[in-house]
Structure 1
């Protein structure tokens, strides 16, 4: 047990951690955030902290836990203060964040949640709740009626507990009272996330109140945003380091990498914090930036994950370290960048260098096995779309072909020594059926190319592409994955 004081005010801080550049209590709230987990506290709350220090304003955050109460129990006794630790090869640095006012545990305080949402001071409702929590059918862009929270909230719309129900009821009450709507800002890592949430909210509203749905469609802003920052789960080391660097016990401390990125569509009728002072980039269209991230960061992530996992490299950092295959990652980044058009505010070479530095960060234990999961959901945007574009302009597709071949080798479900593993892919059964009894690399490549709805026609029918994939897959299957990586490095 420790006799140190619990962090609850800036005056408590006695260590090396830096303090907010403002007095939190002098700033009112303006944001309600649904899903106040570690990522939000390392990302949006961090940017808001920087904005308050630079420009002030009543923009502090009321966080909401829609299900549990652990975060509320950790943060509320600390008056919303917590330690954010950044780790890299140079060590660890800590800052105390003051942008969170308090946290509502919605399961315990449903009335407090709705009160915060309808408060005229609330001008932005943001969220990080994961795609599954919304209950939106992406293919149809309508609510998923079999989603438990959606079904419950449609049955009792005045007592909502799910994301769509909560947003819709709050907007309904604001409309009825003549209060301007808040801006809905999705910060989940989803493509075109503003349009995604907008479609779900409007469809949810239309099922009980068509006039409300029309009002939402006309008057409520749903800007898209792109977020990026690796935030591992806090450990006892996190808490111990926070105590050492603040001189206080901090039950809400979190850790993260130094890199962070936030690209936001600039549509905030009710105003917004000066997030750009913390490095956020405001643009007219987020989609090209999402494409950049998918092809460069995520595409190279997938390549090194399959090659890394199949060669016994447990963590991403092992793939770009001294015993890794850094040149292959650099080659993939360069190829992916060649498919992109120039983007305002982004230097692609610098972005690639940032990605390599992030992958090499020894303080981040990101497992290749984890990244390898759900390949059929990731390949189309990360690898297959850029491959089609490269073929169309007769450019080099070999780096992408290597990545796709590595995924196909992963689909066999066994390491070179015969050790079996689960693919953890939503189409695992389809994959197993497609490759059952297939022996030759070329037949295996064709069988996986033939999976319905996965590979574009251009790739399935291009002999040069098929040969590039099949030849690499053959080397992986015959000589082993380590030899295939070595051959690619020498190519």
Structure 2
């Protein structure tokens, strides 16, 4: 039996479920990119807000790439389960906040009508960096945007709202693009100035594009996961999501037409998202990358194995608590030491099986924000960063490519740099004035001496953390 409103009474009593009348609610949110992360995050928060008494914030999802999610959710009337896994077991909840999914395809007119509906107040997005159609300099790539993107759909919907005399929408990004709200506002403005310039003043005056920071680990659901869940709860859920107990959502307090009371169910509504975003990049993501490259060298496959390694854990703790945290101007009430402790607890969760090789992908695109910014800030203050430099050496050995295939857009160039420059010149070839990886940090002479010592072999991490 498949999950649906009619089969809810067949669930085992231990499965939590929504308590509001879905049929009495209208759609208030149109979400683009309704994958597993959205279902475990924004839709999950919205379900909690509806369960706490909010009304008329149901979600219609727009599936941009395939019909798969529509085929999973629509036969279930939008219902799905979220299962939180930890070392202490699992708990499952049925989420009711998604009304339906519109599949990918030629859907400009129906999506525009949905955006122009009087009840719609928020258009939200989980589209990854590629979906923003940015060119190398950060401006809008019109060739990509005009060939099929969120901008075309939004422009038609916003035009209909304006012509009908309705107010604007909140355009809420829910992904990992840095300063995603500011970026979306700029790119949408560029699109409108070319395609509908008369709409630009209305967009600027009536719409809002808040920045948000999202965080939750959501591994891909496997067939084995679905089979196991079915045997546990008694019903088949084709749209099941597996995740960790932790979740974080920090949103800039900038809305055009109201919002759900997400802050009453765990989200943070703040004046400035930047300190939280910086902490995530430099502490969480920085530690993740260190675990990936050092863990792979130690023969580990998963994050929980790497953080449990007594040679690696001291480095990761120093990276977060001493090196990264010292570069962050914390917001009021933002406790970075407590944040580091929560990250270590999450990393140690054995139930998620978060693969190191996935985190190791595209390192040349990630480490400028995750490591190089911290190195630059600490270097300017005269402080050394042995934990990050040790991790950087592990990444350099990784991209040499003589142990495993390197999944990186600069894989060929990095292997060529190793072949040409070897250990003596690799750090300048990669990070120097004309290096392959751009960023705010250039290695100092002390950095070069440290790398020359650590680079040839992994050695003992703890040795690298002792002062000379």
Residue 367 (str. 1) matches residue 355 (str. 2): yes
Moved more, 348-357 or 130-139: 130-139
Give the Å deviation of 1:40.
0.4
Give the Å deviation of 1:276.
0.9
- CA distance in structure 1 between the partners assigned to 2:188 and 2:421 by the alignment: 46
Give structure 2 stretches of 5+ with no counterpart: none
Moved more, 179-188 or 403-412: 403-412
Residue 344 (str. 1) matches residue 332 (str. 2): yes
* Pairing 1:130-149 to 2, within 5 Å after superposition: 130-137=128-135, 139-141=137-139, 143-147=140-144
Match of 2:288 among 278, 301, 310: 301
Q: Deviations over 1:343-389 (max 9, x none)?
A: 23422122111111111111112222221221221111111111111
- CA distance in structure 2 between the partners assigned to 1:170 and 1:358 by the alignment: 40
Match of 1:48 in 2: 46
Q: How many residues align?
A: 464
Match of 2:342 among 347, 354, 357: 354
Give structure 1 stretches of 5+ with no counterpart: 153-160, 416-420
Match of 1:485 in 2: 461
Checking the alignment, whether the CA contact within 8 Å between 1:7 and 1:249 is kept in structure 2 is no
Give the Å deviation of 1:15.
4.0
Checking the alignment, whether the CA contact within 8 Å between 1:27 and 1:58 is kept in structure 2 is yes
Secondary structure in 1 matching 2:127: coil
Checking the alignment, whether the CA contact within 8 Å between 2:311 and 2:462 is kept in structure 1 is no
Give the Å deviation of 1:46.
0.5
* Pairing 1:26-45 to 2, within 5 Å after superposition: 26-45=24-43
Moved more, 284-293 or 100-109: 100-109
Match of 1:445 in 2: 427
Relative to the length of structure 1, the TM-score reads 0.89
Residue 197 (str. 1) matches residue 188 (str. 2): no
Checking the alignment, whether the CA contact within 8 Å between 1:81 and 1:98 is kept in structure 2 is yes
* Pairing 1:219-238 to 2, within 5 Å after superposition: 219-238=206-225
Give the Å deviation of 1:183.
0.7
- CA distance in structure 1 between the partners assigned to 2:138 and 2:312 by the alignment: 41
Give the Å deviation of 1:299.
0.6
With over 3 angstroms needed to count, the CA separation of the structure-2 counterparts of 1:183 and 1:352, relative to structure 1, is: same
RMSD, aligned CA: 2.1
Q: Deviations over 1:59-114 (max 9, x none)?
A: 11111112322212221222211111010111111000011111111427554322
Moved more, 315-324 or 62-71: 315-324
Give the Å deviation of 1:32.
0.6
* Pairing 1:385-464 to 2, within 5 Å after superposition: 385-415=373-403, 421-439=404-422, 441-450=423-432, 451-452=434-435, 454=437, 459-460=442-443, 462-464=444-446
Match of 1:151 in 2: 146
- CA distance in structure 2 between the partners assigned to 1:456 and 1:330 by the alignment: 24
Relative to the length of structure 2, the TM-score reads 0.93
Match of 1:181 in 2: 168
* Pairing 1:10-21 to 2, within 5 Å after superposition: 10-21=8-19
